[in-house]
Amino acid sequence: MSRRLSCLLATIALLALTPVRWSVATGAGLILALTSLGTISPVTAAPSDPAAPVAQDRVIDVPAQRIFSKVIDPDDFECEPTAIDDYVGAQIDSWTLAELLFVIPHQDVLFGVPTYAALFFGTAGDPAYALGSHAAQLRNTFRDVKKFWSGSEEVQSDDIQLMAMHGDVLLDADVVEATLLLMQEYELLSPPLDTASPAQIRAEAMAVATFLQQNVAGGRALYDDPLWTLNAYAFSGEDETDPFLQSLPDKMVFGDGFLDFMEAIGLGDAGPRVVMGHEFAHHIQFELGLFESDLEGPEATRRTELMADAYAAYYGVHKRGLALNAKRVADALFAFYVVGDCSFDSDGHHGTPNQRERAAEWGAELAMASHPNSAILDAREFAELFDSILPMIVAPDAA
Q: Say how many residues make up the chain.
A: 399
* Alpha carbon distance 126, 162 (integer Å): 11
Residue 192 beta carbon to Zn ion: minimum distance, rounded to whole angstroms: 31
* Alpha carbon distance 350, 61 (integer Å): 12
Report, in this order, helix, strand and coil percent for the chain, each rounded to 5: 55, 10, 35
Q: Tell me which stretch binds Zn ion (CB under 5 A): 31-39, 121-129, 200-208, 372-380.
A: 31-39
Toward Zn ion, which CB reaches closer, 182 or 383? 383
Q: Report the 10 Å Cβ neighbour count for 241.
A: 11
Toward Zn ion, which CB reaches closer, 256 or 305? 305
Residue 88 beta carbon to Zn ion: minimum distance, rounded to whole angstroms: 19
Q: Which residues pair with 56 in a beta bridge?
A: 44
Residue 38 beta carbon to Zn ion: minimum distance, rounded to whole angstroms: 5
Residue 331 beta carbon to Zn ion: minimum distance, rounded to whole angstroms: 17
Toward Zn ion, which CB reaches closer, 163 or 312? 312
Q: What are phi and psi of 163, to 5 degrees?
A: -150, 175
Toward Zn ion, which CB reaches closer, 102 or 362? 362
Toward Zn ion, which CB reaches closer, 102 or 321? 321
Residue 181 beta carbon to Zn ion: minimum distance, rounded to whole angstroms: 28
Toward Zn ion, which CB reaches closer, 305 or 357? 305
Residue showing the smallest CB distance to Zn ion in the complex: 308
Buried b (16+ CB within 10 A) or exposed e, 259-290: bbbbbbbebbebbbbbbbbbbbbbbbbbbbeb
Residue 177 beta carbon to Zn ion: minimum distance, rounded to whole angstroms: 30
Toward Zn ion, which CB reaches closer, 224 or 331? 331
Toward Zn ion, which CB reaches closer, 232 or 270? 232
Considering only residues 144 to 183 of the shown chain, the ones binding Zn ion according to CB under 5 A are none
**Pairing label, strands 251-255, 216-217:** unpaired
Beta strands in 152-302 (DSSP E): 161-165, 216-217, 220-221, 232-235, 251-255
Number of residues that bind Zn ion (CB under 5 A): 4
Q: Tell me which stretch binds Zn ion (CB under 5 A): 113-121, 156-164, 302-310, 387-395.
A: 302-310
Question: What distance lies between CA 308 and its chain's CA centroid?
Answer: 12
Query: Rule CB under 5 A: is residue 234 a binding residue for Zn ion?
Result: no
* Alpha carbon distance 346, 363 (integer Å): 21
Residue 350 beta carbon to Zn ion: minimum distance, rounded to whole angstroms: 8
Residue 278 beta carbon to Zn ion: minimum distance, rounded to whole angstroms: 6
Toward Zn ion, which CB reaches closer, 7 or 37? 37
Q: Tell me which stretch binds Zn ion (CB under 5 A): 33-41, 95-103, 248-256, 263-271.
A: 33-41
Q: Tell me which stretch binds Zn ion (CB under 5 A): 18-26, 29-37, 61-69, 138-146.
A: 29-37
Q: Which residues pair with 59 in a beta bridge?
A: 41
Considering only residues 66 to 125 of the shown chain, the ones binding Zn ion according to CB under 5 A are none
Helix axes 83-93, 326-337, angle to 10 degrees: 50
Toward Zn ion, which CB reaches closer, 204 or 316? 316
* Alpha carbon distance 213, 222 (integer Å): 9
Q: In Å, how far are 237, 316, 328, 330 from 364, measured between CA atoms?
A: 30, 8, 11, 9
Q: Report the 10 Å Cβ neighbour count for 375.
A: 12
Residue 258 beta carbon to Zn ion: minimum distance, rounded to whole angstroms: 13
Residue 36 beta carbon to Zn ion: minimum distance, rounded to whole angstroms: 6
Residue 297: left (phi > 0), alpha (psi -120 to 50), or beta?
left
Considering only residues 304 to 343 of the shown chain, the ones binding Zn ion according to CB under 5 A are 305, 308
Considering only residues 35 to 64 of the shown chain, the ones binding Zn ion according to CB under 5 A are 37-38
Q: Are 283 and 157 in contact (CB under 8 A)?
A: yes
Return residues touching Zn ion (CB under 5 A). 37-38, 305, 308
